[in-house]
Amino acid sequence: MKSLWHRLRTAPLFVFFVNFLLAMGVMSLCRFAFYLCNQSYFPEVDTDRLLGLMTAGLRFDLAACVYLNAAYLAMMAIPFPFRENNTYQKVAKWVFCVPNIVGAFMNSADMVYYQFTNRRTNLSFFSEFSNDGNIGKVILTGLFNYWYATLFFLLMVIFLVKCYYRPNREGKRQPKTWIYYVVNTVLFVGVVYMAVIGVRGGFGKYTRPLAVSNSMQYVKKPEETAIVLNTPFCVIRTAKSPSFVVPSYFASMEDAERFYTPVVDPHPREAFRPMNVVVIIMESFGKEYMGLFNRDLDDGTYKGYTPFLDSLFQQGYTFNYSYANGRKSIDAMPSVLASIPMFVAPYITTPYAVNTVVGLPGLLKEKGYYSAFFHGAPNGSMGFQSFAKSIGFDDYFGKTEFGDDSCFDGIWAIWDEPFFQFFAETMDTFPQPFMTAIFSASSHDPFRVPEQYKDSFPKGREPIHQCIGYSDMALRRFFNKAKTMDWYSNTLFVFTADHTNQTTHEEYMTQLGRYEVPILFYCPSDSLMRGRSQTLAQQIDIMPTVLSYLNYDKPYVAFGQNCLAPDSSKSVVMYNAPFYQYLHHSFMLCYDGDSVRSVYDFQSDRKLTIDLRGKALPIDSMEQRLEAIIQQYMYRMVNDEMTCRPQKRNEEK
């Protein structure tokens, strides 16, 4: 019996299974640490619910561990006796340790990064920063600033290396007979088969490999999928650039157009007015940070961190219900400047980013406009420069054009204050009419302000709050300078944020609250463009709204709507992986691509606690319109029909 146990515990496959359990254990520890670091984002998850989510997560851990340990499995399972060689086993140890250490690093990093994206990181993260030469500095800064995540990662490394099971082999090895090869070949086939089952998530002819969307079946709210999933799984499962699939909700595109079409064919009653257009996209400026929209928070004592913007927004036209169409910076540019929402994957990182797209600068170029895009980061950062060119911007002004590295924050970009001054001064040299856009940068992790402003702004409850105060000051100085310039009074200013960021109030921690950003249209010379509207507004509405205000008269493609028009059919749509959120009137549908998963009255139930699905509500028409939007989007992306140029439609594509 003792001899049998010795043979078993020294068998390569037994060693593999023991170490595979070690890898699974590290995954579970990472999940628990992830929850502890982000507990405030899951206020409804109690102990019992957490145990259920962690148990469900084992399914995704199994798949991730199979992916990470595929090479190790092959080394340990092949039916040849050299597996027992000591040198071979030393190599096998590191073939096991290195991928699992990488997996632990991904999970540890997401303990922190989740606070900024509210979703598990996938491969689009690497595409987003693929052009950034400072990514190494960003990571190094994060390792120090978020020391607790770094410490946890190092503990996981020690745990993996020290607990790796490799038994000592004593005595002379016996020669192998044919039985050894037969048995181990059968075991090899069996283990490989079980590994495939682990990746697929089950047995059965129609079982497909586990996808990120499979996590939805274990959660009550979509944000809980972050607990069920693990980061290595999300990265690996999105390793291939997503290919959009055109759904068949409607038999033809003509049928879909009965419910929705993105083609806008304007017929203005007045002549085109060639006003300058300035679009300001602020990094991470969630609506929560503004006092104007949150008078009811903290028992009416909340002041916010944007005194200048609070005053500016009262001089223009804004919205009580306004939203981003994505959760990342690279989602914002297509949404704001080309009326392209983020569905399934960031447009810039998909294969369809090479489609012909005409954004706001390209459309206005036909009316004689000059256009320029400003971003204080190193040129090419996050793909902004190439996208700006693709939608018609004439010029790009980045860190290189600014020309003074003494104003560089050391990690991301030129500080907002000097770059906004550069923005105003440079615009003063442009021929009119012009269309410009600027993307700020200072309200970004690691949330620092210039040394001379170290104690100038309220620290608040989160690190980002003082940065919001600093950037608000930069905007005040920008407008003070712009007011002295000839082009100012003949300019339409548009203000919004790319996405939200760190939150401190439950109202902004819901799957809808995480998309609430301010939107403002401000024209100094138009006294009629004032007030706060109850109309729904979103980033993709900005382009059609601007064009309508200017009396633009040519057809174009936009997935948004003119939010200045008195139309009760306004709606908002965003993709909150793995499902769509569709807002109309006061209702929000959560739709997974096949059916409605939940319904909320987001105006009366701001914290989204009461699911109204099953009630007698007029949601059928909402579902049909959402399906028409999705089908139109996917069809036009796949078939490169994002403009109004003549196309030969092929329904069989």
Domains in the chain, CATH or no CATH each = 2-237 (no CATH), 254-638 (3.40.720.10)
486 token code pair: 């000839």
CA atoms within 13 Å, Cβ hemisphere of 553: 10
How far is the C-alpha of 229 from the C-alpha of 69, rounded, in Å? 18
How far is CA 141 from each of CA 17, 63, 441, rounded to the nearest angstrom?
37, 32, 17
pLDDT of residue 201: 62
Confidence of residue 212 (pLDDT cuts 50, 70, 90): confident
pLDDT of residue 1: 53
pLDDT for residue 207 is more than 60? no
Condensed to tens digits (0 to 9), the pLDDT of residues 146-161 reads: 999 999 999 999 999 9
56 token code pair: 């469900």
Global confidence as pTM: 0.82
Buried b (16+ CB within 10 A) or exposed e, 530-554: eeebebbbbbbbbbbbbbbbbebee
How far is the C-alpha of 101 from the C-alpha of 22, rounded, in Å? 12
520 token code pair: 């403002």
With pLDDT > 70 as the criterion, what percentage of the chain qualifies?
90
**219 CB-near residues (< 8 Å, 6+ apart):** 53, 225, 227, 228
Helix (H, G, I), strand (E, B) or coil at 478: helix
Asked if 438 and 277 count as a contact pair (C-beta separation under 8 A), the reply is no
pLDDT of residue 187: 74
Condensed to tens digits (0 to 9), the pLDDT of residues 125-145 reads: 666 666 666 667 777 777 888
How far is CA 412 from each of CA 166, 381, 448, 578, rounded to the nearest angstrom?
45, 9, 11, 30
Please give the radius of gyration of the chain, using alpha carbons only, rounded to the nearest integer: 27
Residue type, 134: N
pLDDT of residue 124: 64
How far is the C-alpha of 420 from the C-alpha of 424, rounded, in Å? 6
How far is the C-alpha of 447 from the C-alpha of 138, rounded, in Å? 12
How far is CA 127 from each of CA 122, 328, 349, 350, 576, rounded to the nearest angstrom?
10, 12, 6, 10, 19
How far is the C-alpha of 315 from the C-alpha of 304, rounded, in Å? 18
Taking the CA atoms of 79, 84, 87 and 92 in sequence, report the sign of the dihedral they define.
positive
Confidence of residue 173 (pLDDT cuts 50, 70, 90): low
Condensed to tens digits (0 to 9), the pLDDT of residues 220-279 reads: 777 888 999 999 998 888 776 666 889 999 999 999 999 999 999 999 999 999 999 999
